[in-house]
Structure 1
Amino acid sequence: MDWTTAFNLIDPKLLIVVAACWVFGYVLKQTPKVADWTIVYLVTVAAVALSVGLLGWSVETLIQGVLTGAFAVYGHQVLKQSLKGDNDDPS
């Protein structure tokens, strides 16, 4: 999946939610009492809540919220892994 496909799946009005979720995830990552494994779930819940707040309740909005949260987490991981490079390559 490339960025163009993901952008086509998400309502353009929700791109601000992607940015907000990215910041929210960063803040959670810096919080010592928040376990790393919970961050993806908390970001997804926040994305769904923000999406419903912006677009109103519907099944499509629920799906858009999940996609928005997933896109924020995926985008962060792509950036993180790209900056990390091949440092962990055992060969």
Structure 2
Amino acid sequence: MEWSMIFELIDPRLLIVVAACWVIGWVLKKTPKVADWSIVYIVIIVAVWLTIGLLGWSVEAIIQGILAGSFAVFGHQTIKQTKEGIKS
């Protein structure tokens, strides 16, 4: 799958949600009392909530929120794994 196809799946208005989720995930990772396994779920829930706030309540908004949150997590993991691969 090409990167351009991924960007076509997410409404361009939601790139700010992706960026916000990236920051929220980073903050949660630095928070000692938040378990690592829960960060993905929190980020996706926040993404859905923000997307509904921007686009209004609909099934499409929920799907777009899930995509935006997932894209933020995927982007972070891609960079993290690339850095780890370069080190080893």
Same-fold status (TM-score > 0.5): yes
Count of paired positions: 87
| Distance in 2 between residues matched to 1:4 and 1:31, nearest whole Å | 34
Identity, in percent, stands at 66
Task: List alignment gaps of at least 5 residues for structure 2.
Answer: none
More helix by share: 2
CA deviation vs aligned residue, 1:13-51 (integer Å, no higher than 9, x gap): 000000000000000000000000000000000000000
Letter in 2 for 1:49: W
User: When the two structures are superposed, what TM-score results if normalisation uses the length of structure 1?
Assistant: 0.92
- Pairs within 5 Å for 1:45-64: 45-64=45-64
Q: Counterpart of 1:32 in 2: which secondary structure?
A: coil
User: When the two structures are superposed, what TM-score results if normalisation uses the length of structure 2?
Assistant: 0.95
Asked if 1:21 corresponds to 2:21, the answer is: yes
Higher Rg of the two aligned structures: 1
CA deviation vs aligned residue, 1:48-87 (integer Å, no higher than 9, x gap): 0000000000000000000000000000000111111152
- Partner of residue 85, structure 2: 85
| Distance in 1 between residues matched to 2:37 and 2:14, nearest whole Å | 25
Task: List alignment gaps of at least 5 residues for structure 1.
Answer: none
What is the aligned-residue RMSD (CA, Å)? 0.9
Runs of 4+ deviating beyond 2 Å: none
- Partner of residue 12, structure 2: 12
Pairwise CA distance, 1:6: 1.2
